[in-house]
Chain A
């Protein structure tokens, strides 16, 4: 008991002294202020990106609501005999309401933690305008973004944590022991009643406290202050998990620095080895895994998809040629634009166009499913082999916590696909049977509701990743402790 007490006191003393030395040395100040500046800039970028996205979502939803009011108003006036509609913008005609005129938007809301990682949110759209036309007409819409910028990537919090934090940790720890030895102070230190392992542990603790503490606390505090939605219990849990994941990721790199110091080489050699492992783990591994995953589970050919689409379209044009060649009658008989006894004449040409699109959808679905399966396969491989690099584990984990990971976007697309089917099922019978749209229909039409990924799933995924990193960190710690026994002090 006394021993433990004694060690703890020693640890505290070394911790205090080391802290003073670091502060006097200016390195820590420099690293901390640089880190702070990077964190603030990254958070600013993430918050601005999230805000821009929220603005778009609210404009889209407002547009939809306004359009519905307009449609209803026109329909009511038509029923009262006070207005005649345009042939291609007729609120009583299911062919008009089911396509552009009454189209509904499906919106993927940003999560509370969205500013943490831009992730895939600049690649995939977070809203789609769903009509009864084929999926192919809207599924590939994406946000407008300069491809050069997509290639560069964003300066977001995940970039700072995954790429830069390790380097800042190296800056304060690459010569943890080697400097003491090179300056001759290690000999002096160890002539005191102090073990080498305790010394290293205390030195590491000071650095962890300063750098990793700052890197995890600042974002958490900023988000809690600026984004009120992060204060809700479920979001708070995710925020804590983020801090945990980021903290352990930082500890991994600190442990690596310690392990390399324990090898007993010079400071310059340490720096080289650290930067070398960083290059391999952070730069090369993700690129190689991306390559391997693409080779094992390659995406089917998009060219093939285009060819298939064309063939199906040609078939459809032949099949529905009779409907498509029927002329519009509203020029002779303008009264057919108004509903009568709950019926309205849906122009055969529009029926033909719908059926054509429906057939394209039906036949193309298996091909599109193949794309989804291959992508899901790639994702599964990334998750299975992501452990080869802590950077992959952390990057994917943070994107998922922010709700901007690939998987959530795939879920969104699946749900939009289901909503699209529902929408078509609502309109197809009405179009084919010439049933007019009545005001009450507007409340009965399908609406898109986003079913969020279960929070428990997100939590366990992040927890698992944190555990993975922790295991690696502990293994490095064990190695360091073992190597330090044979450390050449002189």
Chain B
């Protein structure tokens, strides 16, 4: 057989399958539902993203101008007023909101203590939120494979039952050509559905961005395309493998549905519970009491070393040392909070990492991680923001304390009578935070992409083996 027909035969088969999918209505019904859900998800995601990012940008600007235009005031009180910082909403949260509903977006940078990011959107929603949030990512991750199952479960098994498989093979078409043809047919169905959604996603996420961000976002979109493409290809080859292997189309369907239920519904939940058991994160109480105990020792040491006193903010400390004391106290705590928050976040990331490896068996776990990582809505991005915000808080604190050392500590017992000149406020810079770039995103999520590619290789090999052995 010439090389031309090696290519042409699969294309014929694909065309024949595709027109069958169209004719028996499966593509219309199942595909239509998926497409409608996808477009709805994109529209709603786009609307929310617009509203939120506009509002946050304005709030951030206002907040800083309020800070700068403060009256004369004691710097420590100014630090109590503090600043709010808002997490920028990444453009691709339109496609995959990731953990966004479950983490806060607003930090109040205040004196004394690292604060937590507040206002988790899921707290403003009903219990229904826990049954899932409509997003393009959710539709593709959960319903995508199901759509492929519905379209392809009888690709081989059905033809075998009809007897057409024997006929086709008797024409001299090889099993491999048949497999590629069937795969191409399914791919064509997906392309018909996903191309319009892809274009909609492209427009929705690039709309109104600066050219620099547009580049970054386009690269991320290509990354997402790659990830979801590999994921859906895995589904195609697994479906074809099972369809070739199963004796009847009924068996193929039942097996595939079973795999889908286990793989997309059961394992993700079980894996979360398991990861939590194997690598437990502390309760809030435990976390706080351990950190406080640790802080206590460090504070005590610092106060002893610097002021020769046992008690923090005790009566032994004259008010003309409060400026220095604030500085010493803050710096004594930094390493402790860094360690405790670092350990906690490490535990979170470790829990997630172990689930990415589980992606070798259930690819949705690897894809989920990859998708939110590339979209910029995963925990690594959240952590980056939290760390940057804390650094900004420390900068603000240090500037305020330095001013107190310089101007208030010389006033003897009139520490709080000191009122700083409003010029001081402008020495604290704006919080000019930007989310990590696309290079970091790819670097962080290489593992999950490799896991997905490995699973794809395995599933292609499985499909070929099933076709070679059990086709008739």
Contacts and interface: CB of A to CB of B under 8 A. Distances in A.
A295 to B, nearest CB: 8
Nearest to B44: A291
Given A140-B118, A146-B348, A306-B119, 9 more contacts: A87-B314, A140-B119, A147-B379, A155-B269, A171-B254, A271-B253, A286-B128, A325-B417, A382-B126
Given A272-B253, A317-B73, A327 B106 contact: no
B285 A60 contact: yes
Interface string A323-345: 01111101110100100000000
Nearest to A372: B124
A245 to B, nearest CB: 16
Contacts of B98: 151
Given A279-B143, A324-B74, A144 B281 contact: yes
A152 B269 contact: yes
Interface string A353-387: 00000000000000000010011001100100000
B108 A306 contact: yes
B395 to A, nearest CB: 19
Interface string B232-260: 00000000000000000110011001000
B416 A152 contact: no
B73 A307 contact: no
Contacts of A303: 52, 55-56, 59, 86, 105-106
Nearest to B419: A325
B285 A59 contact: yes
A268 B127 contact: no
Given A153-B269, A164-B266, A327-B319, A271 B250 contact: yes
Tier of interface size on chain A: 35 or more
Given A124-B123, A268-B154, A148 B77 contact: no
Interface string B282-325: 11110100000000000000000000000101110111000000
A145 B281 contact: yes
B122 to A, nearest CB: 6
11 contacts: A86-B311, A86-B313, A148-B355, A272-B150, A275-B257, A299-B121, A324-B416, A327-B414, A371-B124, A391-B131, A395-B131
Given A147-B99, A151-B102, A327-B416, A291 B134 contact: yes
Given A87-B313, A154-B269, A307 B63 contact: yes
B450 interface: no
Contact of B382 (A124, A147, A291, A325): A147
A371 B118 CA distance: 15
B351 A143 contact: no
Interface in A155-192: 155, 159, 163-164, 167, 171, 175
A358 B63 CA distance: 22
Interface stretch (A196-204, A308-316, A477-485): A308-316
Contacts of B123: 123-124, 140, 142
A219 interface: no
Interface stretch (B172-180, B272-280, B435-443): B272-280
Contact of B81 (A56, A87, A304, A314): A314
Interface in A273-298: 275-276, 279-280, 283-284, 286-291, 293-295
A171 B253 CA distance: 12
Nearest to B83: A310
Given A294-B125, A310-B84, A142 B131 contact: no
A76 interface: no
A67 interface: no
Contacts of B73: 317, 321
B66 interface: yes
A50 interface: no
A461 interface: no
Interface in B401-445: 413-417, 419
A93 interface: no
Contacts of B355: 148
A349 interface: yes
B127 A395 contact: yes
A159 B127 CA distance: 13
A119 B131 CA distance: 10
A125 B416 contact: no
A4 interface: no
- Central interface residue in A144, A288, A379, A406, by most chain B CB within 10 Å: A144
Interface in B67-83: 70-71, 73-74, 77, 80-81
B208 interface: no
Residue from A142, A149, A279, A349 having most chain B Cβ neighbours under 10 A:
A149
B9 interface: no
